[in-house]
Structure 1
């Protein structure tokens, strides 16, 4: 929505597991199942390209010029790993897998985290 209305958007990457302390058991199980699928999807794509899952995620997020992505880089190793997210392209099949693992949110749903 932001991208369509203003020509740009930003992605906030929250702390992993933030907000899960007050979720019901069935919601937590659904969250775990979704996270496992998402992790397996990113790992599968990473293995194909000789990259890491975070590099796949960064490549996916930075492919649009209208999206501002600010990866965490608290250590030199983070900077090195983050740099591996550029300079290569995801295939159409990769993009379909990611879209399937991270479906767009509905009007009243929060966005999935990548």
Structure 2
């Protein structure tokens, strides 16, 4: 998804007190890491979903080192093994759309639930 959308979604998740989920930034786009078993076949608005096909690899920089090249962690993995569930991410992305149309103070926790 576009990096600006991911940053806004992260802000919404923080406002909702949702624990941070690793977020990989590759310049103009970002990628949240979500639970693979829950993500298969799930439509994430504004996102591209890797479905865990055998041999599929996502190359990520080590969380404890600065990344070379174009990939870096906006929110690095913290060792907790916490990954965002796709439903919460979809709700946060919906909230971003609402905030863009109605203004940033238009939303409180839970109001974006689908």
> TM-score scaled to structure 1, two decimals?
0.33
> TM-score scaled to structure 2, two decimals?
0.33
Instruction: Say which structure, 1 or 2, has more relative contact order (CA 8 Å, 6+ apart).
Output: 2
**Highest CA radius of gyration, 1 or 2?**
1
More strand by share: 2
